[in-house]
A = this chain, B = another copy of it.
Amino acid sequence: MTDLDGLLSGLPSWSTDPADLARAGVDRSGAVPDGLPLVVVHATGTDDVVRTVSHAAAHGIPVVPRGAGSGVSGGALAGSGTIVLDLSRLNRIVEIRPDDGIAVVEPGVITADLDRAAAEHGLRYAPDPASAAFSTIGGNIATNAGGLRCVKYGVTRDSVLALDVVTGTGHLLRTGRTTLKGVTGYDLTSLVVGSEGTLGVVVGATVKLLPVPLATATATAYFPDTRTAVEAVTRLRRRGLRPSTIEFLDHATLTAIDDAQGGDLGTRGRAFLLVRTDGYGAEDEMAAVVEVLKATATVVETSGDAAAAEALLATRRQALPSIERLGRVLIEDVVVPTTRLADAVAGIERIVRDTGVRIFTFAHAGDGNLHPIVLVEDDGPPVGGAVDALFALALDLGGTLTGEHGIGVLKRDWLAAELGGTSLDLQRRIKSVFDPAGVLNPGKAITDR
């Protein structure tokens, strides 16, 4: 019917093995597709991508681009009747030009591998999603991934200079440029970044690399309550300080870590901040940070040396694994203006009380990005109402549904509430410009109707 054989006979690598298809159809969101995809195509070059998308467009078959499948909003979910286009084998670091501060990569490069290669030149790739060890650059670009040091160094979009993209018509589009600045034409690079595979398949990227900071300093602090912790973040800003990382953990999370590790973090305070400074004045800046923190914290721990800093960082790192021990989780991702962070945490506590659903909250506090982790307990209350209440809370506080994970399929019912009709309509028409046949990851990010 769809002449899939005609496509597959021209491609070097694909599978229709049901076990492969089952793996290729899901991501880390927990969302369940409506069946198995038709095939998973492993792209081994741009040609395979052009061929697959062109065939799909001609026959109206949905194509789901896929990196590592580490997404948590269902962006890579692929159900029956779809082609999964797996980019993970396109994983060459094509070129690093240290003196220009750029790298040219294929989309399947693992984020941490690029960072490691850059480090050989004293450079780094600034975006640092917690999934860096297994997510791909292509997936990071498609979701505009963030991480712990965004507050100072920006999100993925801020590090992408140029893209090679196969559009929904099978055309190879070059966006941007390999210079550090440039304003010729519209910014198609930024448009494709964060588009969750709905405007084009990223087959190559030119990204910025920055010098590894000469020094970093780290502190952790415990506060009597959330509001006091959040106020400390505001006071850091008022003092003109620019930490590279400001992470918040709530008391539920501290307790979960204690339960997992046998520690006593939860006794030190009811809210936690991790703050890092970096660059030439890292130690001096940290001294100023500590002064601010000490004004209201119950406990402040600092560390200049790398090993001790790692120990402090460990607390933050253990947050998610400690919660995941308790059961299946939904990793939420709302953002509010930084001055509304305490209201957001209070609102989440209210949702917990009202619904009985257990939620653990940590946050990239410096940019107001909360990750409420919703526990899905077999014998617990249904979580849908709590999640909806969370989205309503974020929008009420002047915030947004997603800071770095994307809309995927999980948040699409809320899209119109945030964007409004004029914007959504215009975005759908932009989608049609890139993908007139509507075959690129349909139903994700921007809903069809």
Q: Which residues of A contact B (CB under 8 A)?
A: 97-102, 122, 143-144, 146, 150-151, 154-155, 157-158, 167, 171-175, 177-188, 190-191, 193-195, 199, 210-214, 234, 237-238, 240-242, 277, 279-282, 284-285, 288, 335-339, 364, 366-369, 398-407, 411, 415, 418-420, 422-424, 426-427, 429-431, 433-434, 445-446
Contacts and interface: CB of A to CB of B under 8 A. Distances in A.
Contacts of A237: 98-99, 101, 211
A403 B214 CA distance: 30
A321 to B, nearest CB: 24
A150 B180 CA distance: 10
B402 A182 contact: yes
13 contacts: A100-B339, A146-B181, A157-B187, A173-B422, A174-B422, A180-B368, A181-B335, A185-B407, A186-B194, A188-B426, A242-B279, A281-B281, A426-B433
A217 to B, nearest CB: 10
A405 to B, nearest CB: 7
Nearest to A234: B99
Contacts of A184: 400-402, 407, 411, 415, 418-419
A211 B150 CA distance: 16
A189 to B, nearest CB: 8
Given A184-B415, A211-B241, 9 more contacts: A99-B238, A179-B368, A181-B400, A183-B405, A186-B430, A187-B193, A190-B190, A280-B280, A280-B288
A94 to B, nearest CB: 15
Given A279-B279, A430-B186, A338 B101 contact: yes
A20 to B, nearest CB: 30
Contacts of A98: 237-238
B338 A185 contact: no
Name which of A143, A154, A398, A423 has the most chain B CB atoms within 10 A of its CB: A423
Contacts of A195: 186
A212 B194 CA distance: 30
Nearest to A287: B280
B403 A182 contact: yes
A338 to B, nearest CB: 6
B240 A174 contact: no
What is the oligomeric copy number? 2
Given A183-B402, A400-B182, A420-B174, A167 B339 contact: no
Nearest to A193: B187
B173 A427 contact: no
Contact of A181 (B234, B242, B367): B367
B178 A337 contact: yes
A179 B211 contact: no
A380 to B, nearest CB: 29
A419 B176 CA distance: 9
B427 A430 contact: no
A187 B426 CA distance: 12
A422 B171 contact: yes
A188 B368 contact: no
Name which of A154, A183, A279, A369 has the most chain B CB atoms within 10 A of its CB: A183
Nearest to A144: B183
B399 A174 contact: no
A441 to B, nearest CB: 13
Contacts of A210: 242
Contacts of A339: 97, 99-100
Contacts of A402: 182-184
A313 B403 CA distance: 40
Contact of A280 (B181, B279, B400): B279
Contacts of A154: 154, 158
Contacts of A182: 335, 400, 402-403
Given A100-B337, A180-B338, A368-B181, A423 B143 contact: no
Name which of A154, A241, A280, A337 has the most chain B CB atoms within 10 A of its CB: A280
